[in-house]
Amino acid sequence: MVKHIVFFKLKENTKEQQDLLKEKLLSLKENVPVLKNIEVGINFSNSERAYDLALLTDFETIEDLNIYANDPYHQTVKEFIKEVTISSKVVDFEY
């Protein structure tokens, strides 16, 4: 199994933007067949190191993660993400 984790920092960290990004990210589950599981969390920490949202996804294989990365629907969501975020960080690992 492969875990893909992404942290996002929003340009405008408002409840509306958080909810909109969460909704877009969760829509990946119905639209990308290789995606086995997805969780999206909105941060509540006030730490200066904190990011605003976290995406946690699971895939059967690294190849499936690569398929996801190039999936047309994922690319559409990724373009939206670029519009509303100022930065992101990623961690991918096998478990």
- Prediction pTM value: 0.95
Q: 43: burial class by Cβ within 10 Å (0-12, 13-18, 19+)? A: middle
Burial 71-86 (b: 16+ CB within 10 A, else e): beebeebeeebeebbe
**What pLDDT, on the 0 to 100 scale, is given for residue 61?**
98
Banded model confidence at residue 51, pLDDT cuts 50, 70, 90: very high
pLDDT at 53: 98
Cβ 92 vs Cβ 4: under 8 Å: yes
What percentage of residues in the chain have a pLDDT greater than 90?
Answer: 100
Go through the domains of the chain in sequence order and give each one's CATH number. 2-94 (3.30.70.100)
Band of residue 27 on the pLDDT scale cut at 50, 70, 90: very high
pLDDT (mean) for 35-53: 97
Tell whether the torsion through CA atoms of 33, 59, 77 and 69 is positive or negative: negative
Please give the pLDDT value at position 92: 98
In angstroms, rounded to a whole number, what is the distance separating the alpha carbons of residues 39 and 28?
11
Q: What pLDDT shows up at residue 37?
A: 98
Average model confidence (pLDDT) for the chain?
A: 98
